[in-house]
Structure 1
Amino acid sequence: MSLTEYHLLSVLAEEMNMRKAAERLFVSQPALSQRLQNIEKQWGIALFIRTQKGLTLTPAGELVVKFANEVLAKSEQVREQLQSLESKVYGTLKIACASIVGQNWLPQVLKRFVSKYPHAKISLITGWSSEILKSLYDGEVHIGIIRGTTDWRSKRIHLFKDSLYLVDKEIQQMEDVLETDRPFIQFKSDSNYYQEIQDWWQQQFQTAPKRTIVVDQIETCKQMTINGIGYAILPAITLTGMEEDVYKIPLLDSEGVAIKRDTWLLGYDAAFKLRQVEAFVEIVHEYLESTPNAFL
């Protein structure tokens, strides 16, 4: 049976009169009578008894009309839920994010997102930018947030640039790097970032650091630096809230322009049509507008 037929039975049970029911349903009495006969044929039993005074429900009719009303009520609930999907955000937002962004920028954005869209769920993985791109290519996530340059050919949104600094507790001028015996603390990263630092260093000093310590995480590198073990090159995104007695010297290119690193939000066009992705992008734009100079 269709919802229209369930509605017909419900109206008949309320009116118990063919003429009044026909008027409510905007059909003729003969047409209504024919439709009722077809419904009763489907159930294989009489649902109404016709009399000169009107209609009377049979025991079978009472059961079927009760069922019809339950179906109509459930249908209305589903319609309301479908309509609410246009204003509410459901589903899981799957994000792959560069670790440095996941630690220092993304939490504030996600805080706004879950506050505004409490029905949405979040799946988050972090790693190097090269790993993020693989997750996108493999279809494991809806969107990815990466660092550095990219040749991504589908949709991409530029999030922000942040400057690079030489950070130390003792070195106050870039020239002092050649004189110090303090170690240069480096953290492992994807080849894009590592090569960028190598090119700058070679152009700036034309010689390798006297001593080097390599660690596996940028946070380890940062903590070793602010505790005076050595100096490091760190992006501004990691430096918020650092102690005041740490010197930050901006990295400049050959033309004296500050070197900055880009952060991008990437995804396939189809993913950006998902409501939870649309909502996340809206939150991202709102957050960027409220913090325009966060990493200068």
Structure 2
Amino acid sequence: MSTNEFYLLSILAEEMNMRKAAERLFVSQPALSQRLQNIEKQWGTKLFLRTQKGLILTPSGELVIRFANNVLDQEEKVKEQIQTLESKVHGTLKIACASIVGQNWLPKVLKTFVNRYPHAKISLMTGWSSEILKSLYDDEVHIGILRGSADWKGHKLHLFEDTLYLVDKEIQHVEDVLKTDRPFIQFKSDSNYYQEIQDWWHRQFQTTPKRTIVVDQIETCKQMTFNGIGYAILPAITLNESAKDMYKIPLKGDHDQRLKRDTWLLGYESAFELKQVQAFVEVVNDFIANQPHIF
């Protein structure tokens, strides 16, 4: 089988629909159906079952699709290795990034990167820190950008740190949270961020908030706070011009030091041999050098 046939199978498995797959492959449905029949003859078994609702993978089809995707992944890696020998930066830069960084910091860096290296492509996934680490361990991405501390033995670059603030439309002093009946709005997180906030709160007040609202994302938490529903603890990276009408009280820990969150860039040494990764790190370093005190 050729890599084109592997790609055809991969698209079929993603869409599970002949019409949608044919549109993505820029072929007619009859032509796609004929090509699939020829491939199934080569394997000597049915790979897909046709139904009124679409396609269903057979057990044999699952094995072949897994094999096809592995071949395509290996082909991509070989192409990337070949492209490292060229003078221009090509290939796909695969990044896994903490959602909060992907929304507030990364776009500025990527804008410079795509302007400087127009031949490079970008594949970006965002999520929680545990998901980013898993994608690195599974070799699905070249670099990961995550928040907090990470036990990582490969390449590690500190990007920036930002202060944590208690943010509200009414509360002007930290101790006022004990007097208010307004709810404390919290967002879920799989990192140590949530625990850091809990530890700070108990050190500061030796009690729990009177009322709490828990939301699923930091952006939801931010918007509810900005709309006056309650108060929240937010990192400076989320606070831009839209926060100018809010009271922002920096959290302080031992020795009156501000509490801050670190952001790191991680990756395996082998990934940093790729030209597109080297180029991205160069852009990141330039960005940090020109804006050393972002938050």
**By how many angstroms is 1:290 displaced?**
1.3
CA distance in 1, matches of 2:216, 2:186: 9
**By how many angstroms is 1:167 displaced?**
0.1
> 1:128-187 CA distances to partner (integer Å, 9 max, x unpaired)?
011100000001000000100111011100000000000000000001011000000001
- 1:272 aligned counterpart, secondary structure: helix
Query: Where does 1:144-293 land on structure 2 (aligned, <5 Å)?
Result: 144-293=144-293
Residue 97 of structure 1 is matched in structure 2 by 97
CA distance in 2, matches of 1:253, 1:290: 29
Amino acid corresponding to residue 139 of structure 1 in structure 2 = D
CA distance in 2, matches of 1:272, 1:190: 27
- 2:145 aligned counterpart, secondary structure: strand
Residue 26 of structure 2 is matched in structure 1 by none
> 1:36-94 CA distances to partner (integer Å, 9 max, x unpaired)?
xxxxxxxxxxxxxxxxxxxxxxxxxxxxxxxxxxxxxxxxxxxxxx9996431100000
TM-score with structure 2 setting the length: 0.71
CA distance in 2, matches of 1:175, 1:163: 19
CA distance in 2, matches of 1:95, 1:265: 10
CA contact (8 A) 2:96 2:144 kept: yes
Residue 141 of structure 2 is matched in structure 1 by 141
User: In the alignment, is residue 114 of structure 1 matched against residue 120 of structure 2?
Assistant: no
Residue 15 of structure 1 is matched in structure 2 by none
CA distance in 2, matches of 1:243, 1:159: 23
Residue 64 of structure 1 is matched in structure 2 by none
CA distance 1:259–1:83, shift in 2 (3 Å): closer
CA contact (8 A) 2:187 2:215 kept: yes
CA distance in 2, matches of 1:221, 1:98: 16
Structure 1: gaps spanning 5 or more residues: 1-81
- 1:161 aligned counterpart, secondary structure: strand
**By how many angstroms is 1:191 displaced?**
3.9
CA distance in 1, matches of 2:276, 2:171: 47
CA distance in 2, matches of 1:232, 1:165: 8
Structure 2: gaps spanning 5 or more residues: 1-81
Amino acid corresponding to residue 128 of structure 1 in structure 2 = W
Q: CA RMSD in A?
A: 1.4
- 1:88 aligned counterpart, secondary structure: coil
**By how many angstroms is 1:291 displaced?**
1.1
CA distance 1:83–1:236, shift in 2 (3 Å): closer
Amino acid corresponding to residue 189 of structure 1 in structure 2 = S
CA distance in 2, matches of 1:94, 1:234: 28
CA contact (8 A) 2:92 2:276 kept: yes
Runs of 4+ displaced beyond 6 Å:
none
The number of residue pairs the alignment matches comes to 214
Residue 28 of structure 1 is matched in structure 2 by none
CA distance in 2, matches of 1:160, 1:98: 14
State which structure, 1 or 2, has the greater radius of gyration over its C-alpha atoms: 1
User: In the alignment, is residue 126 of structure 1 matched against residue 126 of structure 2?
Assistant: yes
Amino acid corresponding to residue 173 of structure 2 in structure 1 = Q
TM-score with structure 1 setting the length: 0.70
CA distance in 1, matches of 2:258, 2:86: 44
Amino acid corresponding to residue 199 of structure 1 in structure 2 = D
Residue 41 of structure 2 is matched in structure 1 by none
**By how many angstroms is 1:123 displaced?**
0.3
Query: Where does 1:19-30 land on structure 2 (aligned, <5 Å)?
Result: none
The alignment-based identity, stated in percent, is: 74
